[in-house]
Amino acid sequence: MPQCPHCQTSYEVEQHLCTTCGYDLRKKDIKGIGGWLLWLCIMLTIIDPLIMLWNGYLITEMRYDLRDIPVVFFLQLFALLLLIINIILSMLAGGRLWLKMKRVITYCKKVLIASLCIQFIIIILVIIMGYLIGAPITIRDIVNDIGAIVIGFGIWYWYLTESVRVKNTFYSEFAKKAN
C-alpha cells in the first residue's frame, strides 16, 4: 500500500485524505521545480537581478553636481553597494532553490526579509538624494514603490510557508527522517 508523504501512514489507493494527518493525498504528485516554484526560481535568479540592475542605472543617472553636493555621490555609492548585495543574495537563493539544497526554504525566507530591508533603505536613500538635488520624489511614487515591495515580499513569503509543492519538494525528506 502507498504511504502518506506527510506522516507515512499507509492508505488505500481510492482514499483522498490521509486518515491520520488529513493530508490531501491527491496533492502528493505536485512536486519538483515547476509551477509557481519555477516562477520563483526565475524571479530570484534572473528577473529580480535585472530589475535591480535597472534601478542601479537609474540611481547613477540621477542628475547632480558633485562639486556642490559630494554627499549625494556617497549616497549613490552606498545605494549601489546595497543593490549589488541584494543581487548576490537573490541569485544565491534562486540557485539554491534550483539545486534543492538543504534548508533552502529557511535560507530563502531570510533572503526575502534581508531584501525587504535593503529595498527600504534604498528608498530612503533615493528620497534623501531627491531632496539634496532639488528634485524630490513624489509621495505617490514612494507609496507605489513601498506597496510593490511589501506585496511582492508578502506573496513569496506566504508561498514558501504554505505551498504544497514546496512542502512536497523540500520537506518530505525531513518528514521521513522524523518518523
Cell 490531501, residue located: 24
* 49: Cα within 13 Å, side-chain hemisphere: 16
Give min distance, CB of 12 to Zn ion, in A: 13
Question: 66 has which bridge partners?
Answer: none
C-alpha dihedral sign at 99, 96, 166, 103: positive
CA–CA separation, 16 vs 27, rounded Å? 9
In the range 18-57, which residues lie near Zn ion by CB under 5 A? 18, 20-21, 23
Q: Which residues of 35-57 are buried (b: 16+ CB within 10 A; e: fewer)?
A: eebeebbebbbeebbeebeebbe
Q: Which is nearer to Zn ion, 165 or 167 (CB)?
A: 167
Q: Which is nearer to Zn ion, 5 or 94 (CB)?
A: 5
Position 6 contacts Zn ion (CB under 5 A): yes
Position 118 contacts Zn ion (CB under 5 A): no
Q: Which is nearer to Zn ion, 63 or 177 (CB)?
A: 177
Give min distance, CB of 136 to Zn ion, in A: 57
Give min distance, CB of 23 to Zn ion, in A: 4
Binding site for Zn ion (CB under 5 A): 4, 6-7, 9, 18, 20-21, 23
